[in-house]
Amino acid sequence: MSSRTKKTEQLQKNTPTYKNKKMPLTPELRQKLDQIRNYLYGGGYPDPMNNAEQLAFLFYFYLSEGRDRENLSRARITKQKHESIYEGRWQLKNPQNAPKEGQKSISKDQLRWSTWKVMSGEQLVRFVRDEVFAFHSEVAANGAVNFMDGARLGIDDPTVLAQVINLIDDLRLDQADADTKGDLFEYVLKQISQAGELGQFRTPRHIIRAIVRMIDPQIGETVYDPAAGTAGFLVAAYDHIRLNNSSENAIEEVELDGKKLKRGHGDRLSAAKWEILGRKTFYGNDVDPKMVHLATMNLTLRGLPHVSIRRRNVLTTALDAQQKADLGLPKDGYKVILANPPFSGRIDKDRIIDDVKVGTTTATEILFLKYMMDNLKAGGRCGVIVPEGILRGVLASHIELRRQLLSNFCVEAIIGLPHFVFKPYASVATFILLFSKKQPGKKIWMYQLDNDGFSHDALREPVDNDDIPDLIKAWNDKNKTTYKRTNRKHAWISIEKINDNQSILVPKVYLRGYGGTKKYPLVQIKNICKLQKGKNSATKTPPGRYPFVTTAEEIKTADNWNFEGKSICIPLVSSTGHGHASIKRITFIDGKFAAATIVAVLQVKESSVVLPEFIYYFLATHKDDVLVPLMGGAANVSLSLDKIGSVEIPIPDIETQRELIDELLSADNHIKVLKDEIYLLEQDRKNQEENIRDSFLC
């Protein structure tokens, strides 16, 4: 057997595989992490973001000793020269750390975790702050990834620092496999986001995994996140590639966030492919140094210590070909780009590089998408989370960006996400945009995700109602001859239809048209109703004897009237504002009344064809499906009479309409009776409380 063959076999023995010892993220480990977090908080360190960064540094110090041993072992096997980072002398930064007065250096052995962890008091704080941080900063600066750039000790209380070090030591991270260490750190990041401090940086992991499954990155492809945050997309791509290169025996089922998922250990990857995966696959940037630290630690713990997350704002700094070569970056773009860039940021227009400019906009969501379009390699694929403005905004920059996207790329899919996906820290309309750098297609696949497997409230606890498995199945089936659209869920939409609708790319705008039943004919509202705007000022109309309909939930009064008869009143402006489309209520009214100019008034043309009550109940029930998606605008989101008139609704015969109305009226009356009963019970309870209080005062 040749020496080269022996080396290859020895290297493969040292390559991560499914045979590595498994130590799952047990409740005990979670409890220890909670204990560390609680101890920091109770010790006077309440900032969860800073605490996560400090834990990342301390985890790094702990693991450095073990990695150094592994590197020495590998060097011996391959007969390559390698020097321990703890070899030689260390010039002290603070003379107070000298064992003896006048001593200017110490053995680097003294900088091992196992050596200094036993210190206490001010000596511990001083040594870690001035020597340990400086030592690892110097080591990192000479390595492939400068994880320690700008790092400093933030825990300066001796008792708290000593206790945290003891608790970290008790985690025994060196005995855990890479997946467990990664899950452990992910648990730290999740707890931070639940505390509401890291929300803008952390994308829900189940959404990331869904995007990665649809983009399907392969071994040998470059994977890039220009706004990496804590490296969630890169970690998910790494897990995906390993799973797709695992034999059946090397796949296990694990539970994360209360959900089961498969994890593979990549036993079918050769040593050469592991080398590619670890050093030439993943790339990322982030403008925030804390995010760079957290992302690097997340990747390091998972067995990717050579992936470089650089501190860089891609919207304000450009790299030429030589700079890319010097940094080891692909010169002609990336095969896969995955990202959830900042939504609401603004950049000074003078700092924006020419490459990413779209008109005069300074909005980061537009500039980031333009950057990703420009940096996608020919034939490459991009999966990105975007806000609603990108897909339906009416500003010149929105329209121009969509024109470039539809003209120069193949938009593969647009998936509408439920507004609660980013709770507890935001409730916004967001979408998954998937596109590739190839010839534009003639249609786009659209899907509306209504439930993501977690509760709709701020707790976001796991529930059974989950559309993601159906999303993945429909995505995989969409190009098959047997594919069938599903009403209100998914369908192919022609580019011609999209162009006719001002290039709006919001799925609900199109999927609502597939929701009507074939049992009854679909009729546009403008053909059965007269549509008018209200005539009164919403704020300057004097009160009076006539009902006055505005966008408020309660009907006001006015001193005049300008409409008469059964009418349906629809707000023309969003109930929530701030760029978010919503309609709180639609009003049905009869008799003489006034309406504000920001309200549309619908009156039936022929009551022998359609009953006004039927239109009211239909629109009130389906407003979020048929009206809200038609609202547009950047800051002031609004609805037009023309768009309302274009809505198609099913019209059954008059008798069927009456039956449906009677059923709904009966239900409404029953609800009113129950509400009245509840009100009386509440009054009784309040009287009882007052009687009890009075009895104590006697």
Contact criterion met (CB below 8 Å) for 158 and 120:
yes
Write b or e for each residue in 338-348: b if 16 or more Cβ atoms lie within 10 A of its Cβ, otherwise e.
bbbbbbeeebe
3-state secondary structure of 376: strand
DSSP tag of 2: -
Contact criterion met (CB below 8 Å) for 210 and 267:
no
Cβ neighbours around 218 below 10 Å, total: 15
Q: What angle do CA 185, 189, 190 make, to 5 degrees?
A: 115
Give the per-residue pLDDT at 579: 55
pTM: 0.74
Nearest to 629 by CA among 438, 419, 334: 419
307 by Cβ neighbours in 10 Å (0-12 / 13-18 / 19+) ranks as: buried
In whole angstroms, give the CA distance from residue 59 to residue 172: 10
3-state secondary structure of 591: coil
Residues near 319 by beta carbon (within 8 Å), at least 6 away in sequence:
327, 329
In whole angstroms, give the CA distance from residue 635 to residue 402: 19
In whole angstroms, give the CA distance from residue 153 to residue 54: 7
Give the per-residue pLDDT at 549: 95
In whole angstroms, give the CA distance from residue 601 to residue 562: 11
As a three-state string, the secondary structure of 19-65 is CCCCCCCCHHHHHHHHHHHHHHHHCCCCCHHHHHHHHHHHHHHHHHH
Cβ neighbours around 154 below 10 Å, total: 15
Give the per-residue pLDDT at 19: 38
Residues near 666 by beta carbon (within 8 Å), at least 6 away in sequence:
none
Q: Which two tokens stand for residue 520?
A: 């009854």
259: phi then psi, degrees, rounded to nearest 5: -120, 140
pLDDT tens track for 354-364: 999 999 888 88
Q: List the end-to-end C-alpha distance of the chain, in Å, as a whole number.
A: 101
Residues near 515 by beta carbon (within 8 Å), at least 6 away in sequence:
487, 488, 622, 625
Give the per-residue pLDDT at 144: 58
Q: How far is CA 306 from CA 200, 265, 313, in A?
A: 26, 19, 21
Q: Which two tokens stand for residue 619?
A: 């629109």
Give the per-residue pLDDT at 452: 93
161: phi then psi, degrees, rounded to nearest 5: -60, -45
Positions in the chain short of pLDDT 50: 1-21, 194-200, 514-517
In whole angstroms, give the CA distance from residue 428 to residue 416: 11
Q: Which two tokens stand for residue 10?
A: 């020895």
Tokens 């706004």 appear where? 227
In whole angstroms, give the CA distance from residue 252 to residue 262: 6
Give the per-residue pLDDT at 634: 56
H/E segment holding residue 431: strand 430-436
DSSP tag of 580: B
Dihedral sign for Cα 291, 294, 297, 302, please.
negative
Give the per-residue pLDDT at 422: 80
Residues near 278 by beta carbon (within 8 Å), at least 6 away in sequence:
303, 304, 306, 307
Q: Which two tokens stand for residue 177?
A: 């496999």
In whole angstroms, give the CA distance from residue 600 to residue 598: 7
Residues near 564 by beta carbon (within 8 Å), at least 6 away in sequence:
591, 592, 593
Q: Which two tokens stand for residue 100?
A: 């003896």
Give the per-residue pLDDT at 465: 92
Cβ neighbours around 166 below 10 Å, total: 13
Give the per-residue pLDDT at 687: 81
Q: How far is CA 615 from CA 117, 510, 526, 527, 590, in A?
A: 73, 21, 12, 13, 14
H/E segment holding residue 229: none
pLDDT tens track for 318-363: 999 999 999 899 999 999 999 999 876 788 889 999 999 999 888 8
